[in-house]
Amino acid sequence: MSSGFDRQQASFLSSMSAAAAKLGPGAGSKRSLAPPSPSPSVGSTTSAAAAPGSLTPRRDRDTPAGNIVYSQPALTGTGDSVISQMAYAVAWLRNKDEPQTCFDVLGYLSATARADHEQEYFVDQMRRHPQIQWIPDPALSEQTWRSGTYVHRPIIPDVKTKTQLLAYLQRKTDASGVNVKDLKDGWPDCDGPISELEQEHRVLVVRAKKDGVARLVWPDDASLFHEVDPQLKLMWSRVEVPSLESIVPRLVAAQQKPASEDPRLKAMQAPKVEKKKKRAQRRTGKSTNVHMEHLLKDYSHMKR
């Protein structure tokens, strides 16, 4: 028995040694059980693959990842499109009292370092803008894109004083009011003069209920204003106004129709009467010839 067991053990050991030889040196040691090295992370491969001049920002190794605010934009500015730059140019010219050259406008927009064809295109668009007025240079016979000056063109021109406002209201040919927002485009501090003209009964003003800001302005005639006697005001304040519940019975008792009575409510409260549908009378024949209608009449009711 012992000799047979020894032979089986020797055969097993020889087979194990042969398998270990096929796997390579050191395969049977404990070091072969260690896990493989971790693969590089996505962030490291991205930063390594980014070129020096690419748009992908490269994160500094010394910057901790916890301090990066991903909810904020990476780049902030005033905008680089022609539409946004034109809006800034209009707002800047609105606050200037004197005409400005195109280089003054381009300098404010930090666009003087751009190519000449880009500056020329922006100046051409600025001359076409409805809120910018181009003043040609009178000393030049032929104008260029660099010549002339620019001023802000308000929605309502030449209205910056109370006298000019009254003259503009008198020149209007329709009964529409003047929007105060349009007045502020060329006259930013017009709220005070409008209030003064309102107190003098020279303009009618519609104000917002929330903050009392003037919204619309109409012309007014001070000669049509009459001061009410203070004694009459006092007497009117002492008049006792009856309640609405008592007014209606009094008017009905005096055989007067109350103004608060709505005829639509009566129509809704009145009982609905169902109308019977009339049965359509059946025709015995269809007349096709107009000149033979007297021959196609029904005389059956004349039978005895």
Residue indicated by tokens 């503009």? 168
**Percent of the chain residues past pLDDT 90, beyond the cut:** 40
| Segments of 141-221 assigned E as strands | 149-152, 178-179, 203-207, 214-219
CATH number belonging to domain 155-251 = 1.10.10
Give the C-alpha separation, 215 to 188, whole Å.
Answer: 14
Q: Which two tokens stand for residue 159?
A: 């209205």
- pLDDT digits over 118-161, tens only? 999 999 999 999 999 999 999 999 999 999 999 999 999 889 99
User: Which of 83, 262, 97, 68 is CA-nearest to residue 187?
Assistant: 97
Specify the pairing of strand 149-152 against strand 100-101. Answer: antiparallel
- pLDDT digits over 159-215, tens only? 999 999 999 999 999 989 999 999 999 898 999 999 999 999 999 999 999 889 999
**Residue 74, CA distances (Å) to 39, 69, 79 in order:** 29, 9, 14
CA dihedral sign, ordered 72, 73, 76, 81: negative
- Find the range with the poorest average confidence among 125-134, 243-252, 274-283: 274-283
**pTM of this prediction exceeds 0.75:** no
User: Which of 103, 105, 100 is CA-nearest to residue 89?
Assistant: 105
- pLDDT digits over 26-53, tens only? 444 444 444 444 444 444 444 444 443 3
CB atoms < 10 A from the CB of 216, how many? 14
Query: Is residue 29 packed enough to be buried (19+ CB in 10 Å), middle (13-18) or exposed (0-12)?
Result: exposed
The mean of the pLDDT values for the chain is 78
Q: Which two tokens stand for residue 251?
A: 């008017």
- 218 — phi, psi (to 5°)? -125, 155
In order, the DSSP letters of 221-255 are -GGG--PPPHHHHHHHHHPPPPPHHHHHHHHHHTT
Q: Where are the domains of the chain?
A: 82-152, 155-251
Residues 281 and 298: beta-carbon distance below 8 Å = no
State the pLDDT at residue 49. Answer: 41
